[in-house]
Structure 1
C-alpha cells in the first residue's frame, strides 16, 4: 500500500508544524576550519526555531552532543523545546536526507516516506548514515515507514498542499539519481507517495548548486496558487538565462484545478564567491515556520529588498533575516538544513 492508497499526503510547508528536524553540522570535509563561524548563524537559526516549535536535532555522538549543549548554553538559548537524538549523520543537509512526513488527518495519523538518498548522485560518500535517518526517526517515533525505492531529495520538490508538486528536470531526471526510471515512472512515484495529482517540471537550477538544480533555490510556493521565483536582472550573469527560462515556463503552466499560477519575483543576491568559486546563494532558500519565515542574507544591498518582498508574501508571519554568508560555503542554506514535521 502507498500513502495515496491509504489517504496520507505530504502537506505544504506552511501547514502547522509540530517540530523541525535538523542534522547538526560536524563534517570537516564539508566545513573544513569554518565550523566556528558556521555555528554563529546555525545557533541563531536554532534559537528562532525553538522560540515557537520543538527542534529535533540528530547529534550523532557524545562529542557533537557536547558541542551543541555548550553552544546553547553560551548563547543563552532556552532548551525546553530542544530534543537531541543520537542518530549518526554524515552531513548536515536534513532537507535532503531527513524524514519526509505524510499525514492522514481523518485518522489523526502520521507516517514517514523513506526516499533513497545518495548524496546528490554519489558526489560525497559516505552517505549511509544520512540515508538511514528516516528509518531511525520512524522507529523512534513508532511511525509507519513507506519505501518508494527511488532516490529523491527533499530540496528537489515543492508542493502547494492542493495536489501540485513542482520539481526540476536537471535534478530528478539526472541519470545519477534513478537511471532505470523514465520521467513518467518518476512522476508516478511522486504521485503515489506524496499523494499529488500534478507534477510541474522546471528546467535548470542556479549556478554553483551541486545538487544539479534543486527547486528550493529558485522557485517556492507561498500559497496554493502563488509562487515566489528568483530572477536575475543582469544579462551578463550566468543565472540570467536559466531563471528567465523558468519564469517563462511558470507563465504557461496551469494548476490541477485549471487556474494559472500567480507569480511574484525575488531578486538574486550579488554573487557570493570563495577563491573564485561561485556559491549557490539565493534568497529562495527560506524556511517557513508556524509564525516566522527565516530568510538567508548575504551582506549585500539586495538583502533589504528581498526581505521586504518576502514580508509582503507572508503578512501573517514575522520575517527574520540571518546572515548565511558562511553557511552558503557548504553549498546550502536554512531550507537545506531543515525538515518540517507537520501537526496532524
Structure 2
C-alpha cells in the first residue's frame, strides 16, 4: 500500500493516530463544492443546472461557509454573478466536473480531551468511476485542498469515491459490492481487503455490504444514492414497490439484508423506508437515477433533492422526523440529475476542528 503522509514524520495510519471519518451530521467548518462549467457534460442543460446550483450553494451558505472551486474566468464570473452577497470563498482550480463527493478529499478527525479536535484528510485516487470520463484535473483537487488548508494528509494509491461509503460515526461503514468490487477501480482488492483498508484509513471497524444500487447509475451503484445513515442507529433506504421496475428486486434485497445487519455492538438498526421518485425520468443516455437518498446534512439543515415528482412531498415527510433540530429543505434538482447525481454527490463536508499540520 503506497502511503505518503505529508508533514508527518512516520508511517502511522490515521487510525494509529486516533483519526476517523466523522458522521456527516457532526459539526462542519465548511462545505466544499465545484461550479458546473461544461455544457456538453450537462447535455445542453448547463444554464438550468447553474440555476439549481446557485439555489443549493445559497441555501448551504445560510448555515455554513462554502468553498467553491471554479475552473476559469467564465465560470467564476457566472458564479459570482449568481451568488452575490452569499458566504462563499472562490478558488481557481482546473476542473473536469463537479462531483466533489467523489473526487474531493475525505476528511478525518480526532477528538482530544476537552478540545474541538484535529482535522486532517485522506487523498484517494479518482478515476471517474472506472474511466468513464476525464478525471485527471479532478484527481488533483484533494492535493489543492490540503495545500490551501496547510493540512496534514495521507495520499493513497487506491481508487475510492466518497459517494461509495456511508459511515455512522460509531465505527460502522456501508457500501455496495457493485461499486467497490469492479475491476476498473482496484483490481484484486477484496471485501476483506477493503475492510482492513477502511479500518486503517477511516476508522471503520465494521464494514457492511449491500449488493447494488439504482439502474443506470454510472457510479456502479453508489451507496449515497440509495441508503444513508441519519443517526448512529437509523438507516433510511430506498424502496421501489413496482415489481416490474428493474430497481424493485435490488432495493427489496437491500432492505431485507439491512434488517439482518447489526451495528458495531451487535445491535440491530432501525430501518426506515424512503420512496424513490414515482415517475420514470429519461435523460440523454437512457434512464436517469433520481433519488431522495442523495440528501446532504449540514449545520442545522438537510437539503433534499426534488424533481417535480408526486413523491417529492412524501420524501420530505419521511425524512423530517429523522433530523430533529435540523431544517429539512427541499430544493429542485431536476436539471442536476441530468448529470447522474444530486446534492450529496456535489458536496464534501469539512469537519469543525483545528487543522492538523502533521506534527
User: Counterpart of 2:42?
Assistant: 31
Query: Offset of 1:322 from its aligned partner?
Result: 0.9
Contact 2:99 2:346 (C-alpha < 8 Å) held by counterparts? yes
User: Counterpart of 1:251?
Assistant: 259
In structure 2, what is the Cα distance between the partners aligned to 1:60 and 1:137?
14
CA pair 14-281 structure 1, distance change in 2 beyond 3 A: same
SS of match in other structure, 1:281: coil
Structure 1 unmatched ranges of 5 or more: none
User: Counterpart of 2:51?
Assistant: 40
**Residues 128-167 of structure 1 aligned to structure 2 (within 5 Å):** 128-167=136-175
Alignment pair present for 1:227 and 2:235: yes
User: Counterpart of 1:285?
Assistant: 294
Contact 2:176 2:209 (C-alpha < 8 Å) held by counterparts? yes
TM-score by length of 1: 0.96
**Residues 235-274 of structure 1 aligned to structure 2 (within 5 Å):** 235-270=243-278, 271-274=280-283
User: Counterpart of 2:107?
Assistant: 101
Contact 2:37 2:71 (C-alpha < 8 Å) held by counterparts? no
In structure 1, what is the Cα distance between the partners aligned to 2:230 and 2:98?
25
In structure 2, what is the Cα distance between the partners aligned to 1:189 and 1:333?
27
RMSD of aligned residue pairs (Cα, Å): 1.2
Query: Offset of 1:260 from its aligned partner?
Result: 0.5
User: Counterpart of 2:124?
Assistant: 115
In structure 1, what is the Cα distance between the partners aligned to 2:164 and 2:351?
19
Q: Aligned match of 2:98 in 92, 98, 104?
A: 92
SS of match in other structure, 1:236: coil
In structure 2, what is the Cα distance between the partners aligned to 1:157 and 1:180?
19
Deviations 1:172-201 (A, max 9, x none): 011111003222112211111001210000
Query: Offset of 1:302 from its aligned partner?
Result: 0.7
In structure 2, what is the Cα distance between the partners aligned to 1:272 and 1:319?
24
Deviations 1:271-303 (A, max 9, x none): 212358210100000001111110001111111
Q: Which structure is higher in helix share? A: 1
Contact 1:210 1:331 (C-alpha < 8 Å) held by counterparts? yes
Deviations 1:134-182 (A, max 9, x none): 1111011100111232100000000000000110000001111100322
User: Counterpart of 1:317?
Assistant: 326
Query: Offset of 1:27 from its aligned partner?
Result: 2.2
Alignment pair present for 1:334 and 2:343: yes
Contact 1:148 1:189 (C-alpha < 8 Å) held by counterparts? no
Structure 2 unmatched ranges of 5 or more: 1-11, 354-359
In structure 1, what is the Cα distance between the partners aligned to 2:204 and 2:158?
17
Alignment pair present for 1:215 and 2:223: yes
Number of residue pairs the alignment of both structures matches: 338
Query: Offset of 1:312 from its aligned partner?
Result: 1.4
Alignment pair present for 1:67 and 2:78: yes
In structure 1, what is the Cα distance between the partners aligned to 2:277 and 2:80?
34
